[in-house]
A and B are shown apart, each in its own frame.
Chain A
Amino acid sequence: MNGPATPAIEVHDVSKFFVSADGRKTRALDKVNLSVGRGEFVSIIGPSGCGKTTMLKMVAGILGWDEGQISVMGAPVSGPGPERATVFQSFALLPWLTVLDNAAFGLKMRGEDKATRHAKARTLLETVGLGDFANAYPTELSGGMQQRVGLARALAVSPNVLLMDEPFSAIDAQTRLILQTELLDVWSQTDLSVLFITHAMDEAVFLSDRVIIMGARPGHVTDVIDVDLPRPRTEETRRDPRFVELTARVWDRLRGMMADERAGTPS
């Protein structure tokens, strides 16, 4: 069961209900099935309200579900685990800690002693290009640099699975393109499996091996698109006709969904 054949993440027939204020149960996720292979980079894209962030939080073990099973590295998920680490949309840095202490925070929660976690955090800060900013405070950094700290904090705990919740959506467009390339650089040097939530179509295609498209009301998987672009992916990839074609295909699926929704729900 724990053999290398099992995928890094396996979500099987998972449903989740929310109880609304008037006591009615609404289905937020409906029998979602998806998997992320070992060392694979998979993105989930979908309109807001499709439950993609909910899905990620359930895999992270910080949110429960009602039906179905989720396994990570062959073991059923029943809470957060040492083989997973999460990068947050809002960076989620602690403003009273230095960059170094922020990068070491995950290790601290895992019970590592100070010398070990600082040494590890320093190495990861070097990796993300923030070696000179170890003693700065998060407020002194730009958004892109803050998210690099968030990435260093996640990588410092040496996870097998990296969960990224719209990590670049609060960052300006130019910085975002640079961060995408940097993320692929870091990832290519590891055997990390990545589940990446985004609402940017070009980002999903540029980064991923597969793009999972989700629809809303209730959240469900509508399509999976294989991205057969060669790696390593560089700035050249963005001009590749195949890249443009795949991005257009993702947009077609999303647009079709939005058209259905407009037709289906009279306002």
Chain B
Amino acid sequence: MTSNAPSRQAGAWGHRLAASLTETFWGRLALRMTALAVFLAAWQLAGDDSIALLFPTATRTFQAFIELMADGRLPLGLLITGQALVTGYAIIIGLGVPLGVLIARFPLADRAISPYFTFLVAVPIIAIVPVVQALLGLTFAARVTVIVLFGISYVVINSAIAVRRIKPDLIEMAASFGARRFTILSQVVLPAAVPGIMTGARLALGQALIGMVVAELTIVGAGVGSLIAELQGRFKVAAVLAVAMTIVLIGLCLLSLVEMLERRFNRWSLVK
């Protein structure tokens, strides 16, 4: 018993350290910073700056990022791409939620339009991009359409499921107090469906981000996708990496923002 006491104590110390690293704010920050430092060091060692074509080090990538920011090409690209993303995402939410509600509340709408959204989930959207391009040309509208096609079905389907899951007695309750159809929709059905709609919105954002890059790489525009294509054509590997990482970081920020909103609204669905 006495022989393993020190090791047990060490185990307890390890436990306490792990707890302080995962359970306090500064602990978590220290943990993440260490992981980031290890990652950057490994990247620095793996990179090779002797020839521009080789995998760049972290410092060379960062330099390329600064240059692209300074000459204004990256901010301009982000702005143009951002416009397509914001427009596309607004259409996804603005059109997707009402369509989902319609499908859930009217069997006729369900029969008529549900199959198309099931189709959109099942089919690789990238295969339809040439069709969009043939229809709309190399335009802003074409890029927005690709983004919408990528994301909208997730909002439609999740909204419809959320509306269908509403307990009928909540609707009966509102009706018993004389609420009309529209009031029931706005005061009971939509609020009750918010957690489900938020899940759809989060999934759709991930898809819209993919759609955004796909649209830029296949349909020429002036955004970050074409910036990547152009830099790649001139073998500026570090600059390509800088642009790609910027897109990924912005995407992650947007996703965690939507995730935060989703968690906030989830309290609503706690009652079964």
Chain A residues packing against B (C-beta within 8 Å)? 57, 60-62, 79-82, 84-86, 88-90, 92-96, 105-106, 108-110, 137-139, 157
Say which residue of A57, A80, A89, A90 sits within 8 Å of B177 (CB atoms). A80
B169 touches A85 (CB 8 A): no
Please name the residue on chain B nearest to A157 by beta carbon.
B177
Task: Determine, out of B48-56, B146-154, B263-271, the stretch whose residues face the partner at the interface.
Answer: B263-271
Shortest CB-to-CB span from B148 to chain A, Å, is: 29
B176 touches A139 (CB 8 A): no
Please name the residue on chain A nearest to B178 by beta carbon.
A80
Say which residue of A85, A90, A95, A109 sits within 8 Å of B179 (CB atoms). A109
B-side interface mostly: helix
20 interchain pairs (CB within 8 A)? A57-B172, A61-B176, A80-B177, A82-B178, A85-B177, A86-B176, A88-B169, A89-B169, A92-B170, A93-B271, A94-B170, A94-B191, A96-B194, A105-B177, A109-B177, A109-B178, A109-B183, A137-B267, A139-B270, A157-B177
For residue B66, CB closer than 8 A to chain A, the reply is: no
A106 touches B269 (CB 8 A): no
Q: Report Cα–Cα, A57/B171, bound state, in Å.
A: 13
Say which residue of A80, A90, A96, A157 sits within 8 Å of B175 (CB atoms). A80
Asked, given contacts A61-B176, A109-B177, whether A90 binds B169 with beta carbons under 8 Å apart, the answer is yes
Say which residue of A95, A106, A108 sits within 8 Å of B268 (CB atoms). A95
Q: Report Cα–Cα, A82/B172, bound state, in Å.
A: 15
B172 touches A81 (CB 8 A): no
Q: Report Cα–Cα, A92/B194, bound state, in Å.
A: 18
Count of B interface residues, CB-CB < 8 Å: 22
Q: Report Cα–Cα, A181/B135, bound state, in Å.
A: 72
A-side interface mostly: loop
Q: Report Cα–Cα, A106/B172, bound state, in Å.
A: 12
Residues in A with CB closer than 8 Å to B174 are: 105, 109
For residue B132, CB closer than 8 A to chain A, the reply is: no
Give chain B interface residues in 165-192, CB to chain A under 8 Å: 167, 169-170, 172-179, 183, 187-188, 191-192
Residues in A with CB closer than 8 Å to B175 are: 62, 80
Say which residue of B173, B179, B267 sits within 8 Å of A92 (CB atoms). B173
Q: Report Cα–Cα, A95/B265, bound state, in Å.
A: 11
Q: Report Cα–Cα, A93/B187, bound state, in Å.
A: 12
A110 touches B177 (CB 8 A): yes
Q: Report Cα–Cα, A80/B187, bound state, in Å.
A: 18
Q: Report Cα–Cα, A157/B191, bound state, in Å.
A: 23
Residues in B with CB closer than 8 Å to A108 are: 187
Shortest CB-to-CB span from A192 to chain B, Å, is: 16
A80 touches B170 (CB 8 A): no
Residues in B with CB closer than 8 Å to A84 are: 176
Give chain B interface residues in 248-272, CB to chain A under 8 Å: 267-271
Residues in A with CB closer than 8 Å to B268 are: 95-96
B167 touches A139 (CB 8 A): no
Q: Report Cα–Cα, A96/B167, bound state, in Å.
A: 14
Asked, given contacts A139-B270, A139-B271, whether A92 binds B178 with beta carbons under 8 Å apart, the answer is no
Q: Report Cα–Cα, A137/B268, bound state, in Å.
A: 10
Asked, given contacts A94-B191, A95-B268, A138-B271, whether A88 binds B172 with beta carbons under 8 Å apart, the answer is yes
Asked, given contacts A94-B188, A139-B270, whether A88 binds B173 with beta carbons under 8 Å apart, the answer is yes
Q: Report Cα–Cα, A138/B173, bound state, in Å.
A: 16
Shortest CB-to-CB span from A48 to chain B, Å, is: 17
Residues in A with CB closer than 8 Å to B188 are: 94
- Across the A-B interface, the 10 shortest Cβ-Cβ residue pairs: A95-B271, A109-B177, A92-B173, A96-B268, A106-B177, A86-B176, A109-B179, A92-B169, A80-B178, A62-B175
Please name the residue on chain A nearest to B173 by beta carbon.
A92
A81 touches B270 (CB 8 A): no
Q: Report Cα–Cα, A96/B170, bound state, in Å.
A: 12
Shortest CB-to-CB span from A54 to chain B, Å, is: 12
A95 touches B270 (CB 8 A): yes
Residues in B with CB closer than 8 Å to A95 are: 267-271
Shortest CB-to-CB span from B116 to chain A, Å, is: 29
Give a binary string over B58-95; 1 marks a CB under 8 Å from any A CB, 0 the rest.
00000000000000000000000000000000000000
Q: Assuming A62-B172, A88-B172, what are 20 further A-B pairs, CB within 8 angstroms?
A: A61-B176, A79-B178, A81-B178, A85-B177, A86-B176, A89-B169, A90-B169, A94-B188, A94-B192, A95-B270, A95-B271, A96-B191, A96-B268, A105-B174, A105-B177, A106-B177, A108-B187, A109-B177, A109-B183, A109-B187
Residues in B with CB closer than 8 Å to A92 are: 167, 169-170, 172-173
